């Protein structure tokens, strides 16, 4: 009797800081070892590959060839397209070319993190390498986006497991984000919301209001304009308060294009 084949996943990293992969290493249900040894076959991920160099590139081509039409492609990081894509070369090829060729044979494409979703930090002005996100690069193809910097690994894992279980993608919003994860504003589920409603705000880091856990809106919190489930599912399985606002830092809108990566409101005047 042969064991059932684990669903193949190919994970490509371009203009990235590796934070998205790091985020994948943190969950405990399933644990990383259960995920990659029992549930899926992670055929290529530059950070986690057992092999390196030619051996790793051969494993990638082998998986694409053997699993055409069956594998899930995950793109981490932005795709630099300026000057023919020379600003991110892997195994002698531009990353853009690798993404295009691999996506053409994938069953589904998932852009993990804000860089892969729309360019993120890598596309910050003046964007000298011409970084763009996977949906723009692969225009015309359905690309699921799991933005966040880093994204919450459970939103990624739930999307993959939904696809494997139901053989279809979860419902997506107009930006390609799964609605189960990005359907509500941070502000709707924030534990500091009663302070917002009562008009109790921290005005400076370390002031009395900040120490008492008051609302961080006046320190630049972007929770009222950011769709994500951070306050509901938290990060890294370490208990209550394990998300930015819970630790006393304003939400900086990392899951929303055009909202994140900007200065706090009071510093923009």
N-to-C CA span, the chain: 68
| 3-state secondary structure string across the chain | CCCCCCCEEEEEECECCCHHHHHHCCCECCEHHHHHHHHCEEEECCCCCCCCHHHHHHHHHHHHHHCCCCCEEEEECEEECHHHHCCCEECCEEHHHHHHHHHCCCCEEEEEHHHHHHCHHHHCCCCCCCEECHHHHCCCCCEEEECCCCCCHHHHHHHHHHHHHHCCCCCECCCCCEHHHHCCEHHHHCCCHHHHHHCCECCCCCCHHHHCCCECHHHCCCHHHCECCHHHHCCCCCCCCCCCHHHCCCCCCCCCCCCCCCCCHHHCC
Binding to ligand SF4 by residue 223, rule CB under 6 A? yes
Query: Which one among 71, 217, 227, 243 touches ligand SF4, defined by CB under 6 A?
Result: 217
Binding to ligand SF4 by residue 177, rule CB under 6 A? no
Q: How far is the CB of 67 from ligand SF4 (least distance, A)?
A: 25
Q: How far is the CB of 114 from ligand SF4 (least distance, A)?
A: 4
Please give the size of the binding site for ligand SF4, defined by CB under 6 A.
Answer: 27
Binding to ligand SF4 by residue 193, rule CB under 6 A? yes
When the beta carbons of 94 and 253 are compared against ligand SF4, the nearer one is 253
Binding to ligand SF4 by residue 224, rule CB under 6 A? yes
When the beta carbons of 7 and 257 are compared against ligand SF4, the nearer one is 257
Query: Which one among 143, 149, 160, 228 touches ligand SF4, defined by CB under 6 A?
Result: 149
Binding to ligand SF4 by residue 16, rule CB under 6 A? yes
Write down the residue that tokens 């993990």 correspond to.
112
Greatest CA separation for the chain: 68
Q: Which stretch binds ligand SF4 (CB under 6 A): 34-42, 82-90, 131-139, 219-227?
A: 219-227
Q: How far is the CB of 164 from ligand SF4 (least distance, A)?
A: 23
CA dist., res. 30 & res. 75, Å (int): 21
Binding to ligand SF4 by residue 79, rule CB under 6 A? no
Of 241, 152, 143, nearest to 192 by C-alpha is: 241
Binding to ligand SF4 by residue 118, rule CB under 6 A? no
When the beta carbons of 6 and 200 are compared against ligand SF4, the nearer one is 200
Q: Which stretch binds ligand SF4 (CB under 6 A): 93-101, 113-121, 126-134, 168-176?
A: 113-121
Query: Which one among 121, 131, 134, 157 touches ligand SF4, defined by CB under 6 A?
Result: 121
Binding to ligand SF4 by residue 143, rule CB under 6 A? no
* Interface residue list for ligand SF4 (CB under 6 A): 16-17, 19-20, 76-77, 113-115, 120-121, 149-150, 186-187, 190, 192-193, 196, 215-217, 221, 223-224, 245, 251
């Amino acid at each position: 009797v042969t064991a059932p084949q684990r669903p193949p996943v190919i994970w490509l990293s371009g203009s990235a800081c590796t934070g998205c992969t790091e985020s994948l290493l943190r969950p405990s249900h399933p644990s990383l070892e259960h995920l990659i040894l029992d549930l899926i076959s992670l055929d290529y991920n530059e950070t986690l590959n057992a092999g390196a160099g030619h051996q790793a590139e051969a494993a990638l081509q082998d998986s694409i060839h053997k699993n055409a039409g069956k594998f899930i492609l995950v793109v981490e990081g932005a795709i630099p397209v300026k000057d023919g894509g020379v600003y991110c070369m892997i195994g002698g090829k531009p990353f853009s070319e690798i993404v295009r060729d691999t996506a053409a044979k994938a069953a589904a494409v998932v852009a993990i993190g804000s860089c892969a979703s729309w360019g993120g930090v890598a596309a910050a002005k003046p964007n000298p390498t011409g970084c763009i996100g996977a949906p723009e690069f692969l225009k015309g193809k359905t690309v699921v986006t799991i933005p966040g910097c880093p994204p919450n690994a459970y939103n990624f894992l739930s999307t993959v497991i939904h696809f494997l279980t139901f053989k279809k993608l979860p419902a997506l919003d107009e930006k390609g984000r799964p609605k189960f994860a990005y359907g509500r504003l941070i502000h709707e589920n924030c534990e500091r919301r009663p302070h917002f409603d009562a008009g109790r705000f921290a005005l400076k880091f370390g002031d009395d209001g900040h120490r008492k856990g008051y609302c961080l809106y006046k320190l630049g919190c972007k929770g009222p304009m950011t769709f994500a489930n951070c306050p509901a599912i938290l990060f890294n399985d370490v208990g209550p308060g394990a998300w930015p606002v819970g630790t006393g830092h304003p939400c900086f809108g990392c899951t929303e294009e055009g909202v994140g990566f900007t200065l706090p409101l009071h510093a923009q005047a």
